[in-house]
Amino acid sequence: MTKSKAEGALKELGQKLVRDIEKGKNPSIEFSLRGLSNVVFDEKTKKLALGSKEATRTFFNVGHAKKFLQTLEVAKVSKNLLDVEKHASLRDVFYMAKRTIPDSSINIVDEQTETDKSIEDLELITDFSREQLNINANKMGSVAGKVVVEDKGDTIDWSKLGSGGWSIPSNVEEIEFKKAKAKYVIYMEKAAVWERLHEDKVWDKQDCIIMSSQGQTTRGIRRLLQRMNKELKLPIYVLTDFDSWGQYIYSVLKFGSISLAHMADQLAVPSIKFLGITADDIERYGLQKHFIKLTERDISRMKQISEYEWFNKNKAWQNEFKKMKQFGAKAEIQALSSKGISFISEVYLPEKIKNGRWID
Nearer to a second copy, 89 or 314 (CB): 89
Number of residues that bind a second copy (CB under 8 A): 63
Find out whether 255 and 340 touch, Cβ atoms under 8 Å: no
Nearer to a second copy, 170 or 229 (CB): 170
Nearer to a second copy, 141 or 256 (CB): 141
* 335, 348, 352, 358: which one binds a second copy (CB under 8 A): 335
The interface with a second copy within residues 91-130 (CB under 8 A) comprises: 91-92, 94-96, 98-100
**Residue 110 neighbours by CB under 8 Å, 6+ apart:** 98
Nearer to a second copy, 74 or 305 (CB): 74
* 12, 30, 150, 307: which one binds a second copy (CB under 8 A): 150
* 48, 140, 197, 305: which one binds a second copy (CB under 8 A): 140
* 12, 174, 207, 351: which one binds a second copy (CB under 8 A): 174
Stretch that binds a second copy, among 32-40, 151-159, 245-253, 273-281 (CB under 8 A): 151-159
From residue 189 to residue 228, the character string flagging contacts with a second copy as x (rule: CB under 8 A) and all else as - is --xx-xxx--xx-------------x--------------
Q: Under the criterion CB under 8 A, does residue 161 sit at the interface with a second copy?
A: yes
Q: Which residues bind a second copy (CB under 8 A)?
A: 80-81, 84, 86-92, 94-96, 98-100, 136, 138-143, 149-156, 160-171, 174-175, 191-192, 194-196, 199-200, 214, 289-290, 332, 334-338, 341-342
